[in-house]
Chains A and B, each alone.
Chain A
């Protein structure tokens, strides 16, 4: 497929220079390499600037409620196993409002890829702290600086034995596209946390701030080693690793529930269901 096949005619409502443009480019690049048609994808999102992305990619899309992308996405995949499901969400959407769904959908392990546009700030509501904001960062609501400990998505995912944990950067288009490709190809819940500068509201975690700290995991890094992965997932500050932090094969929801051996639930003919045998049990 060509990148152009995924061009939407809906113009983006993002700020000029927004990190979301880089992520959008990486997603399209990954899709062009996968070879599937737009109608084979379902993009699901919640609310926020990241969650507008499904409008800006030509594919099926479900733009639901704030924080609730994961349950809607998981169910869509459960009932139509043929769909390739990708979620675009933000740090507020996924780790704040939807935190409980984040935890339990890692446990559920439905085959879907979650791309979290993590800009460490609330953009659409104009600059409040997010779950991943740096301690001491000052905002209008937190004038003395953030006093809550930051949420650590990669360490949380690892603690829940998520089978695919990666971190990318909105500034590293090809590298991020490779992570997205690997995430989609991984069977199960894939988390890709993407560092994304917010040019309008986050004056701390800028392109320069990330560029100074981010480095790519070396070619001999073994993402199957969980102990090392835990160390890398926790690495934050002067140096921030990018790449597939952890990857392990474990049975997905589709395999464990038996869905993978059935035809997709949407394809069942439900016009004539014989309920009489069930009633016999109540005689």
Chain B
């Protein structure tokens, strides 16, 4: 009996890897376990070598492991690509006859996956055969697998539903009779963390809960999942989801919708965000609320379309020409993604400016089981928005002590609404007066920054002042939690808001610390630079990973250990590269 195992389903695109993965996530979650699942896939529609890996445990878990205890390979290439990831004592199951593999190595096991699939209706059902095998090996009854299979294929024809069920049965019976091994049994008990959610879905649900009425985007991996979820609920919640002709259109549409008075959002990845920069600046100049999800992937240029990186932190902080205030959030989990999406709309409307939510492929597409959120958290606050009004002298860009002017809706009162991308006076008309320029810049930049700085989301701090303090932002929250639980004398500070930067909370957390190390999914240590710039605290080094893959718990722990020994022998800032 184990407290946790990791299982992996591998094969080429088009074989239904994600379907099996999500079904298994649901199965183990439903049977009282906790799960954390990552998707590793290539930017192609068919072929290639992809996998879906699920960590299953008897307690909440937040990061992936290096190796898998059970791997099912759905094609020959998957055997070669994944054999190195098999944990000691693990099982790699494949159809040796089908793939033409003669010599089975230690831990390899052949099963007639494809002849069982043919008996169920065709090779397409190989993934459901695999589901049955996994179910049997981990000592679950077939009913649990039928339940998730029926749910997964509920929109399909009854023939497809039945064939999948039959395939599950065949896989189950085969494995239960031959390779059932209670070594892979994981204990579990019913728990409250009943929702299975990835970051993209959580972000979309948060936006819907915030009252977003208009979502527009150009499809771009790995952000498209947000648009998919928004579209799924558009009819039910009265939302228009508009696919833009390009990202420039998307940001300008979002700003137009925000000006007209709804909560509006767009989402993209680095390349699309690059195209949005002028529109970001427009939102700032016109003081129009807009929320932008920047779901990072490795660049430059097209980079790795389907993989992960935290390389656009500095880009998000500095994107857009001119000087203006903005807020940049960086949720660390699906729960935070949901709450921060709600908060982001409040911030955008209260301060009348663009708000960026930094995510990445790892957070966006990794599944975890979480507690359904409390609906009363982050209640809606639309700021100084007036649906009706009667004072015709209400100026859109009136000077105020806090820099926030009244915002009226066009067409909803006798007050006329104005927005101007040129420098403008209080009434919104173009001006080139020097003193107006200074006052308006103070309003858009200094006064709004002062307001934003008063309500920065506090970072998560564990063991402040520990001998080693790790620092991270965004998707590494779960990793930091688990690393610090396993490493001696380590604590961490994790930022869910990186701008304005919480300098005060950083001083407090790092005071008296022996060593400060940032953990970042990028090549240059952008968070380390930000901390230094904003607090004058120079991190002692960084654990960096920039191969397009997320950190695993195991490699981060060993990098930390290596880091300690390496840093003893060097005077310069050591960087542990994974």
On A, residues with C-beta under 8 Å from B are 10, 13, 37-40, 42, 44, 47, 52, 55, 58-65, 68, 71-76, 78-80, 82-83, 100-101, 103-104, 257, 259, 262, 265-266, 268, 270-271, 273-279, 282-283
The stretch of B43-51, B114-122, B404-412, B513-521 that contacts the partner chain: B404-412
Asked if B181 is at the interface of the complex by the 8 Å CB criterion, the answer is no
Known A60-B418, A64-B421, A275-B209; judge A75-B257 contact (CB<8 A): yes
Asked if B278 is at the interface of the complex by the 8 Å CB criterion, the answer is yes
Q: Which of B213, B282, B422, B430 contacts A79 (CB 8 A)?
A: B213
Closest residue on chain B to residue A270 by CB atoms:
B211
Given A103-B245, A275-B209, 9 extra CB contacts under 8 A:
A39-B415, A40-B411, A61-B428, A65-B252, A74-B256, A75-B254, A270-B210, A282-B201, A283-B194
Q: Which of B242, B413, B428 contacts A78 (CB 8 A)?
A: B242
Q: Which of B214, B279, B429 contacts A65 (CB 8 A)?
A: B279
Is the pair A83, B410 in contact by a Cβ cutoff of 8 Å?
A: yes
Which 8 pairs, one residue from A and one from B, show the smallest C-beta to C-beta distance? A270-B211, A72-B256, A75-B256, A60-B410, A104-B245, A75-B253, A275-B209, A76-B260
* A283 partner residues in chain B, CB cutoff 8 A: 194-196
The stretch of B261-269, B442-450, B477-485, B492-500 that contacts the partner chain: B261-269
Is the pair B422, A265 in contact by a Cβ cutoff of 8 Å?
A: no
Query: What separation, in Å, do the CA atoms of A100 and B250 have in the docked complex?
Result: 12
Instruction: List, sorted by A's number, 16 A–B pairs whose CB atoms are closer than 8 Å.
Output: A38-B416, A39-B411, A60-B418, A62-B259, A63-B419, A64-B286, A68-B282, A71-B256, A75-B252, A78-B242, A79-B214, A80-B409, A80-B411, A257-B240, A273-B237, A279-B372
Query: What separation, in Å, do the CA atoms of A200 and B413 have in the docked complex?
Result: 40
Asked if B216 is at the interface of the complex by the 8 Å CB criterion, the answer is yes
Query: What separation, in Å, do the CA atoms of A82 and B412 have in the docked complex?
Result: 9
* B507 partner residues in chain A, CB cutoff 8 A: none
Distance in Å: Cβ of A38 to nearest Cβ of chain B: 6
Is the pair A62, B375 in contact by a Cβ cutoff of 8 Å?
A: no
* A259 partner residues in chain B, CB cutoff 8 A: 240
* B214 partner residues in chain A, CB cutoff 8 A: 75, 78-79, 265
Is the pair B372, A276 in contact by a Cβ cutoff of 8 Å?
A: yes
Query: What separation, in Å, do the CA atoms of A268 and B236 have in the docked complex?
Result: 13
Is the pair A104, B409 in contact by a Cβ cutoff of 8 Å?
A: no
Is the pair B264, A79 in contact by a Cβ cutoff of 8 Å?
A: yes
Known A60-B410, A63-B422; judge A276-B375 contact (CB<8 A): yes
Query: What separation, in Å, do the CA atoms of A78 and B261 have in the docked complex?
Result: 11
Known A59-B416, A275-B208; judge A64-B411 contact (CB<8 A): no
Known A101-B245, A103-B245, A279-B195; judge A79-B237 contact (CB<8 A): no
Query: What separation, in Å, do the CA atoms of A55 and B417 have in the docked complex?
Result: 12
Known A78-B214, A278-B208; judge A266-B264 contact (CB<8 A): no
Distance in Å: Cβ of A243 to nearest Cβ of chain B: 30
Known A278-B208, A279-B372; judge A64-B249 contact (CB<8 A): no
* B244 partner residues in chain A, CB cutoff 8 A: 71
Closest residue on chain A to residue B415 by CB atoms:
A39
Closest residue on chain B to residue A59 by CB atoms:
B416
Known A60-B416, A64-B255, A257-B240; judge A39-B410 contact (CB<8 A): yes
Which residues of B in the span 224-278 have a Cβ within 8 Å of any Cβ on A?
A: 233, 236-238, 240, 242, 244-246, 248-250, 252-257, 259-264, 278
Distance in Å: Cβ of B421 to nearest Cβ of chain A: 5
Closest residue on chain A to residue B281 by CB atoms:
A65
Query: What separation, in Å, do the CA atoms of A47 and B423 have in the docked complex?
Result: 13
Is the pair B233, A266 in contact by a Cβ cutoff of 8 Å?
A: no
Q: Which of B205, B264, B414 contacts A278 (CB 8 A)?
A: B205
Known A64-B286, A266-B262; judge A271-B245 contact (CB<8 A): no
Query: What separation, in Å, do the CA atoms of A75 and B264 have in the docked complex?
Result: 10
Query: What separation, in Å, do the CA atoms of A277 and B364 have in the docked complex?
Result: 22
Is the pair A74, B410 in contact by a Cβ cutoff of 8 Å?
A: no
Is the pair A63, B421 in contact by a Cβ cutoff of 8 Å?
A: yes
* A61 partner residues in chain B, CB cutoff 8 A: 416-420, 428
Query: What separation, in Å, do the CA atoms of A273 and B417 have in the docked complex?
Result: 27
Most buried by A among B194, B252, B253, B256: B256
* A257 partner residues in chain B, CB cutoff 8 A: 240
Distance in Å: Cβ of A235 to nearest Cβ of chain B: 30
Q: Which of A68, A82, A270, A279 contacts B380 (CB 8 A)?
A: A270
Distance in Å: Cβ of B392 to nearest Cβ of chain A: 10
Is the pair B409, A68 in contact by a Cβ cutoff of 8 Å?
A: no
Asked if B528 is at the interface of the complex by the 8 Å CB criterion, the answer is no
* A62 partner residues in chain B, CB cutoff 8 A: 256, 259, 286, 410, 417-419
Query: What separation, in Å, do the CA atoms of A58 and B26 have in the docked complex?
Result: 58
* A79 partner residues in chain B, CB cutoff 8 A: 213-214, 240, 257, 260-262, 264
* B248 partner residues in chain A, CB cutoff 8 A: 68, 71, 100-101
Is the pair A72, B253 in contact by a Cβ cutoff of 8 Å?
A: yes
Is the pair A63, B194 in contact by a Cβ cutoff of 8 Å?
A: no
Q: Which of A13, A71, A80, A277 contacts B249 (CB 8 A)?
A: A71
* A65 partner residues in chain B, CB cutoff 8 A: 252, 278-279, 282, 421
Is the pair A76, B208 in contact by a Cβ cutoff of 8 Å?
A: no
* A38 partner residues in chain B, CB cutoff 8 A: 416
Distance in Å: Cβ of B130 to nearest Cβ of chain A: 23
Known A59-B416, A100-B249, A266-B261; judge A76-B410 contact (CB<8 A): yes
Is the pair A42, B411 in contact by a Cβ cutoff of 8 Å?
A: yes
Query: What separation, in Å, do the CA atoms of A265 and B416 have in the docked complex?
Result: 19
Is the pair B421, A270 in contact by a Cβ cutoff of 8 Å?
A: no
* A52 partner residues in chain B, CB cutoff 8 A: 430
Is the pair A279, B205 in contact by a Cβ cutoff of 8 Å?
A: yes
Query: What separation, in Å, do the CA atoms of A68 and B285 have in the docked complex?
Result: 15
Query: What separation, in Å, do the CA atoms of A187 and B255 have in the docked complex?
Result: 24
Is the pair B252, A68 in contact by a Cβ cutoff of 8 Å?
A: yes
Query: What separation, in Å, do the CA atoms of A101 and B429 have in the docked complex?
Result: 26
Query: What separation, in Å, do the CA atoms of A79 and B264 have in the docked complex?
Result: 10
Is the pair B195, A266 in contact by a Cβ cutoff of 8 Å?
A: no
* B409 partner residues in chain A, CB cutoff 8 A: 80, 266
Closest residue on chain A to residue B381 by CB atoms:
A271
Most buried by A among B242, B250, B430: B242
* A104 partner residues in chain B, CB cutoff 8 A: 245, 249
Asked if B197 is at the interface of the complex by the 8 Å CB criterion, the answer is yes
Distance in Å: Cβ of B350 to nearest Cβ of chain A: 15
Query: What separation, in Å, do the CA atoms of A42 and B256 have in the docked complex?
Result: 11
Query: What separation, in Å, do the CA atoms of A164 and B60 have in the docked complex?
Result: 60
Closest residue on chain B to residue A74 by CB atoms:
B253
* A83 partner residues in chain B, CB cutoff 8 A: 260, 410-411
Distance in Å: Cβ of A184 to nearest Cβ of chain B: 15
Is the pair B411, A72 in contact by a Cβ cutoff of 8 Å?
A: no
* A39 partner residues in chain B, CB cutoff 8 A: 410-411, 413-416
Is the pair A100, B279 in contact by a Cβ cutoff of 8 Å?
A: no
Closest residue on chain B to residue A84 by CB atoms:
B411
Is the pair B259, A270 in contact by a Cβ cutoff of 8 Å?
A: no
Known A63-B421, A78-B214, A83-B410; judge A268-B238 contact (CB<8 A): yes
* Chain B window 436-455, contacts with chain A (Cβ cutoff 8 Å), 1 for yes, 0 for no: 00000000000000000000
Is the pair B253, A71 in contact by a Cβ cutoff of 8 Å?
A: yes
* B375 partner residues in chain A, CB cutoff 8 A: 274-276
Query: What separation, in Å, do the CA atoms of A83 and B411 have in the docked complex?
Result: 6
Is the pair A76, B414 in contact by a Cβ cutoff of 8 Å?
A: no
Distance in Å: Cβ of B239 to nearest Cβ of chain A: 8
Distance in Å: Cβ of A6 to nearest Cβ of chain B: 11
Query: What separation, in Å, do the CA atoms of A271 and B378 have in the docked complex?
Result: 11
Distance in Å: Cβ of A260 to nearest Cβ of chain B: 12
Query: What separation, in Å, do the CA atoms of A73 and B252 have in the docked complex?
Result: 9
Closest residue on chain B to residue A58 by CB atoms:
B416
Q: Which of B211, B278, B422, B429 contacts A273 (CB 8 A)?
A: B211
